[in-house]
Amino acid sequence: MCESKEKIFFKLIHGSGKEETSKEAKIRAKEKRNRLSLLVQKPEFHEDTCSSRSGHLAKETRVSPEEAVKWGESFDKLLSHRDGLETFTRFLKTEFSEENIEFWIACEDFKKSKGPQQIHLKAKAIYEKFIKTDAPKEVNLDFHTKEVITKSITQPTLHSFDAAQSRVYQLMEQDSYARFLKSDIYLDLIEGRPQRPTNLRRRSRSFTCNEFQDVQSDVAIWL
């Protein structure tokens, strides 16, 4: 009977130790998560860590105030000037909507395609990147426009993306272009002031730099 009590006692003590160790581990893990969460949510954490990643957005563009003023005459004049296109792209990055100008540039390049094979390859690349549902840089298109492209993508022509490109162009002209003309990026140029580092709009308090790494533009491949 004594032996049975001793075994029971040993089991209780042994089990209690394991339970206590498990509880302590969970508490320590929870405290670690809490400290990490508080660190990530601090504004200074984002500013310090992201400063090097946003630095490239302050790229110096040698444009005379007179030339920059012409960009305000029309959206077409802005996009037809290489520096204007680059400056507008930089502005769109601050609003996390650079996919619109990237799509427009890709369509301009696509219309220069030569031969069925090149047309097919470029059309597929544009569709995969900008058009299909949940594409990495999906642009905002109405259902009908997207459906027409989807049905014709197996036999694309040089005009396959005309409607979509026109839609995105109008969206940028009526919305983004108006804000660009009032932005510090543009006003600094027309007033001849040195360009300052561009502040990225924070999507939410929990937004992190790791997320921003996935929002990198590759406009250059379409130029």
Report the pLDDT averaged over residues 8-22. Answer: 47
d(CA 202, CA 137): 19
DSSP for the chain, written as a single string: -HHHHHHHHHHHHHHHHHHHHHHHHHHHHHHHHHHHHHHHH-HHHHHHHHHHHHGGGG------HHHHHHHTT-HHHHHHSHHHHHHHHHHHHHTT-THHHHHHHHHHHHTT--SHHHHHHHHHHHIIIIISTT-TT-----HHHHHHHHHHTTS--TTTTHHHHHHHHHHIIIIIHHHHTTSHHHHHHHTTPPPPPPPPPPS-TT--HHHHTT----GGGG-
Report the pLDDT averaged over residues 93-108. Answer: 97
CATH of 65-191, one of 3.40.50.1100, 3.20.10.10, 1.10.1060.10, 1.10.167.10: 1.10.167.10
Report the pLDDT averaged over residues 96-122. Answer: 97
Residue 140 has pLDDT above 70, yes or no: yes
Residue 192 has pLDDT above 90, yes or no: no
Report the pLDDT averaged over residues 81-96. Answer: 96
> Residue 49: which pLDDT band, with cuts at 50, 70 and 90?
very low
pLDDT value, residue 168? 98
d(CA 14, CA 61): 71
Residue 176 CB coordination number (10 Å): 20
CA dihedral 221, 169, 131, 212 (to 10 degrees): 60
d(CA 221, CA 223): 6
Which tokens in the block code for residue 82? 């290489």
pLDDT value, residue 212? 31
Average pLDDT, the chain: 76
Residue 132 has pLDDT above 60, yes or no: yes
The alpha carbon of 181 is separated from its chain's Cα centroid by a whole number of angstroms, namely 22
Report the pLDDT averaged over residues 187-198. Answer: 83
Share of the chain above pLDDT 90, in %: 57
Residue 74 has pLDDT above 70, yes or no: yes
pLDDT value, residue 198? 62
More confident residue, 150 or 16: 150
pLDDT value, residue 62? 77
Q: For residue 31, what are the CA distances in angstroms to 18, 23, 64, 86, 181?
A: 20, 12, 55, 46, 48
Q: For residue 9, what are the CA distances in angstroms to 17, 33, 185?
A: 12, 36, 75
More confident residue, 181 or 61: 181
Domain coordinates of the chain in residue numbers? 65-191
